[in-house]
Structure 1
């Protein structure tokens, strides 16, 4: 139960779990002035055994497939760290890793399945035969007549806006495309103010920056523009360019918002968000092992939150939307920040 719950929580954009990361930095990494590339390079060097992220819960280390996938997205967005991306995909395809994330067939988690299917597509793998599993067929099998994708689990249904959005993004890349009902269901979950909530079927619809950023990308990919959601998102931007999720203004929410805004043509707002992200990035004044990383908030660098902040912050710095992500042609190396 703990493992399946952790896997589903990893689909969300923040975590209170302690991350396990290695300290070693490969000496051969290429230096760069590109801030997005430097962020992805730092992220790659934090992978455990060069292939995965882990989290600690009650003193026990668990695989964090969701965060590992976020890193693969960051590598694709920046066109770097291809060797690390390949290693991560090999790890994700291992039977135990795969079943622990998407379920074993009896247990089936829609959000994880959709997110992994998208990852396979982004990296050029076959989502219909990934680790011996047809992710596309399994995902379609989790769609209700309403169009909603839901978990099939003894522990309950944890599906939400991220679930629906990643499912739409993944299926939109298939020949058949995303089912119209699934697109309509997602569009219909918008709050009165135009934004999207994290959870469906709540007594009060409360818009969330992270959920809105992912939902507008999915709907735009499926040919259903959401100008009201984009306007709501722009209205949430702080004077310093940052965005707040459920708490403080932070890199995670800002990275996702910047990605959504840039890929949707809201270039000025996206540029302001990138300025905020660069302000959180550890530069040449920081210790060598931290350079390129993005801090979660302006409160300072914290290794427990920096990995996820860097993964999602890199998306904002690169400005490549989920629908456009591709690892094709990515450089193999993980760049370091060029310092004189």
Structure 2
């Protein structure tokens, strides 16, 4: 389901880091602030609807405990950062982002290692990225110089000592220092390249160039590096270890865009990756994860759509957002289910939502919903707005009790969930991709009186009335 900056190294230190490439803002001021790249992308997009990302943000904010995401092994700092990055794009969540930063910064060593025996390159790159967009100093974040540590974990241009130096084929590659092994990968490399570039590090160019080596000729990025003793260190299409990975490709795009690197090599790499991602997108708007997951899901779709949105491919970003929004149940009012208390959460796959409507989100599945939602917030940034104000019209002025009467609903955003209801009857509806009206019938109750029919979304409602006679 996720590409991680890898593993749980001890029972106390959770390093699950399905990575997102956006920003986070610390106090003061307590306000979320999307990155310049996201602001520019949304300005280039058609009119967008903030509702799905807002309600997803409200749900995931409620999942935090004292500013941290806590899993079965304790605080999950990687998911905490992902959550803060996502929430930074939602205007109402500045206070939550502040709380995340205030809890994370004093404990950053638990995530990146102690800097002596343990130093985790991918986590350092991601943490430094987080610090930068949080308007904190990554050279002194929680008392740790994240940039210096990251430079230490980035291979130099030569090996040996002068005058007996030799060119290093691993130049720019990140690696972990750990008794548990080296788990550095391409996701971590993309964060390292971004963080070092934004810090004007002398090693930024090498880190970026090594990242670009992980892009195959078709435009995708692979997930893992070659073993250190392999001479080329470059993605080789059709060779074991160089399989296409849409999640990793999307994250590489996000981090390259956010790095601000406008060099010809990066511009060319982004163009190729954007073409590959757009070709990989299904007609429904969804993306399928790489093996071994190999399934369509909201994580891959949200990341792919967000990356394409940052590349100003607004049609592809819109299609992805619509698909993700379909997997955000809004079962409120008369349409309520066991998921109503989790309104805004995004299911990893449709079947997860179907099951949870009866029993709620199982305790052992809550982590999956959190991860899906943290990434969905990003893809939902490009959800299209409705063309019209929400309203409901009855085709009849009066009717008899028990009759099924047609109602027309206007102003639902594409893929937006709503509940159409009258006393004694209700139906769930979703906005059409075209934005056109929805037509449904409701059975009228008994009683000689005027009855109100309503359509209710997560944050709005409209009503009409008609005379009912027995």
Query: Is TM-score (shorter-chain normalized) higher than 0.5?
Result: yes
Structure with the greater alpha carbon radius of gyration: 2
Check the 8 A contact 1:108/1:151 in 2, yes or no: yes
Per residue, is there more helix in 1 or in 2? 1
Structure 1 unpaired stretches of 5+: 15-31, 321-335
Is residue 2:321 matched to residue 1:200?
A: no
Is residue 2:35 matched to residue 1:35?
A: no
Is residue 2:188 matched to residue 1:163?
A: yes
User: Alpha-carbon deviations, 1:210-250, whole Å to 9, x = none?
Assistant: 10001122334322122222111112112211112133211
Deviates more, 1:199-208 or 1:174-183: 174-183
Counterpart position of 1:299? 351
Counterpart position of 2:110? 100
**RMSD of aligned Cα (Å):** 2.5
Counterpart position of 1:113? 124
Check the 8 A contact 1:293/1:310 in 2, yes or no: yes
Describe the SS at the equivalent of 2:87.
helix
Picking from 61, 71, 79, the partner of 1:67 is 79
Is residue 2:131 matched to residue 1:135?
A: no
Which structure carries more relative contact order (alpha carbon 8 Å, separation 6+)?
1
Q: Equivalents in 2 of 1:338, 1:33: separation in Å?
A: 11
Counterpart position of 1:325? none
Q: Equivalents in 1 of 2:261, 2:12: separation in Å?
A: 29
Is residue 2:326 matched to residue 1:263?
A: no
Check the 8 A contact 2:285/2:316 in 1, yes or no: yes
TM-score by structure 1 length?
0.82
Counterpart position of 1:46? 63
TM-score by structure 2 length?
0.60
Kindly state the Cα deviation for residue 72 of structure 1 after the two structures are TM-superposed: 0.4
Is residue 2:218 matched to residue 1:212?
A: no
User: Alpha-carbon deviations, 1:255-305, whole Å to 9, x = none?
Assistant: 111111000111111110000011011214454321111111111334341
Q: Say if 1:291 and 1:257 are closer, same or farther in 2 by CA, change over 3 A.
A: same
Query: What does residue range 302-313 of structure 1 map to in structure 2 within 5 Å?
Result: 302=361, 303-313=366-376
Q: Say if 1:254 and 1:233 are closer, same or farther in 2 by CA, change over 3 A.
A: same
Q: Equivalents in 1 of 2:11, 2:150: separation in Å?
A: 19
Is residue 2:92 matched to residue 1:80?
A: yes
Is residue 2:254 matched to residue 1:243?
A: no
Describe the SS at the equivalent of 1:88.
helix
Check the 8 A contact 2:53/2:380 in 1, yes or no: yes
Kindly state the Cα deviation for residue 308 of structure 1 after the two structures are TM-superposed: 0.7
